[in-house]
Amino acid sequence: MKKYLAILSVLLVAALFTGCSLFPTKSVETEVTPPVTADIFDYTGLDYQLGEVLVRTDSTISLDKMLSKEGSEVLQEWSQIGWSLVSVPEGETVTSFIKKLRNYKGVLLAEPNMMYETDKTPEATSYDQQWGFDNMNAEAAWDITTGSENVIVAVIDTGLDLTHPEFVNKTIIAPYNATGDGIEDMIDADTHGTHVAGIAAADGNFGEVAGVAWDCPIMPVRAQHIEGYISSSFLVEAMTYIADYAQENPEYRIVVNMSIGGHGYNFAMKDAIDYAFDNGVLLITSAGNDSKRVVSYPSAYNGVVSVAASTPWDTKADFSTIGSWNSVAAPGVLIYSTIPVESGSHGNMQGTSMASPYVTGAAALLLSHNPDLTPLQIKNQIEQTARGNGFSEELGYGIIDIEAMLGELQPMTYGSLDVTTSIISSDELGYVGQGIITLFDEEGALVGWGSTGEDGNYMFHALKPAIYTVNLTYYNMFTGEYEFASQDAMVKVDRVNTIFFEVGVPSEITKTVEYEEDINTEEGYTGISFTVEEKGFFEFETSELAGEGKCDTVLYLYDADDNLVATNDDFGTLFSYIGMNL
């Protein structure tokens, strides 16, 4: 008999008895929009870790099995945000493997594991008193509060010298090594992390220096490998660790300092920051030391507080990075603070790395005084009480004023954007996939990204009032193509603005079972031949018994000439599935 189409199912026995069923069905869909393909991501020229790739998948793919076919494996995963760090197989480069991964329908994003640097500039001058406190009106603020034991200052950095006299009597909460380098203590071979922690929260009641938030505990999180490098996977691990801690310990509030930066938009890191934000954690970061207008991350992510460096004369430090994403400025020149004991115990440094922890300590004081503030309210209060004459790209809203910050709460200056779509899975339609949403400002800079959830939407917070361009990329399972849509959205102050994308998801589907077969063989192949008489969307799936450990299936779809048309090992972890137009 002439073979028109065949489905071969390979069964690997996982129990003594198997009982998987195969269901080819035909679906008729309505109102499918012609697709447009978009590829907007380019990591050429960036510094990244060789041999590793970050990947995010949806529920239609079994990552472990997919990677094993490619000779790759999962090195680390963050189920909270849907991301995994995977190895690059032999014979592939980072960029070639990313390209291959993006061809899998269940892969939403794949990107390099990028490298970051601390934003410091060494300063070998004589002893200088801590001039910054007077510049920021800290002394008057300390009359109101010096911190709370329930507000944690988390420092994601190069480590912390816990043997330092300034930290011996300091409360240290849940220190963590996010690098996986096997060194369990908080060694600081770089001196940077110890200097930053001293600025933010050294105990002002004894010792040589004071920090901003005297009475707040410190959570040191080391993100620099013992070999001296920082990668985005370390920063993702650090942020998710802190977010999980906040979720599991609601009696604490946490502010995070990250005096680290790089020059590539990292989607996994943005997801980790948003996850922390959703758990009440605010990230404060250094603007960078590029001296000119250069986009740096995480400082340019929406929702974080980006801190520029200022001088004793309230001008921009010559090295400080300029940008529309800068929130405020703080002292960053000739900053005297703690360094590891073996390096001399105390010393001067300069850079936006030194400016950022001043603001982090101030945020901890604000939370100590107003513990119910949301991360966005903290960011807004810091910015709107700064000493400045309006906004500038050099100093943001101005030099931070801690006394004013602890005063009357200021009106909200940010808005939110709720992007809704018709990409909604249901019992009637089944799983219809996820869309990727990217948000660009009027200058064409990428402001944020998100993926549609079960309800087909994504909410962007902490947006300045403006007109934004919103792009939606969606793999349409019913057409087998990518769709791309774009529209502008107006964001207004202190309100949730909403836009809607209507894409080619059928409004109604009628499924007809064409064939069903029970497969009760311990191992082998089962071939089924059938003829397609009318064009349509066809689905082929095994029963969910495969997800109960009773059997494992792989589907292969061949045409009449024995050409492989499609294959699927696992749709999620429940069953095998192929859906396509024939």
Positions marked catalytic: 157, 192, 353
Distances in Å between the Cα of 177 and the Cα atoms of 159, 167, 246, 256, 321 are 8, 18, 17, 15, 29
Is the CB of residue 397 less than 8 Å from the CB of residue 329? no
Amino acid at site 511: K
Dihedral angle, C-alpha 456, 462, 467, 469, nearest 10 °: -40
Q: Is 252 left (phi over 0), alpha (psi -120 to 50) or beta?
A: beta
Q: Is 15 left (phi over 0), alpha (psi -120 to 50) or beta?
A: beta
Q: Distance between CA 428 and CA 464 in Å, rounded?
A: 39
Dihedral angle, C-alpha 216, 222, 116, 112, nearest 10 °: -120
State both tokens at 474: 């969606």
Is the CB of residue 382 less than 8 Å from the CB of residue 363? yes
* Cα angle for residues 329, 195, 171 (degrees, 5° grid): 105
Is the CB of residue 539 less than 8 Å from the CB of residue 25? yes
Is the CB of residue 252 less than 8 Å from the CB of residue 150? yes
Is the CB of residue 557 less than 8 Å from the CB of residue 578? yes
CB atoms within 10 A of CB 124: 7
Query: Per DSSP, what are the bridge partners of residue 306?
Result: 285
Is the CB of residue 462 less than 8 Å from the CB of residue 379? yes
State both tokens at 136: 């920021």
Q: Taking each helix axis from N to C terminus, what angle separates 192-201 and 352-369, rounded to the nearest 10 degrees? A: 30
Which pairs from 310-316 meet CB under 8 Å and 24+ separation?
A: 310/135, 310/355, 310/395, 310/399, 312/131, 312/135, 314/135, 314/387, 314/399, 316/394, 316/395
The string of DSSP codes covering 253-308 is EEEEEE-EEBSS--HHHHHHHHHHHHTT-EEEEE--S-SSB---BTTTSTTSEEEE
Q: Distance between CA 132 and CA 405 in Å, rounded?
A: 16
Q: Distance between CA 486 and CA 502 in Å, rounded?
A: 11
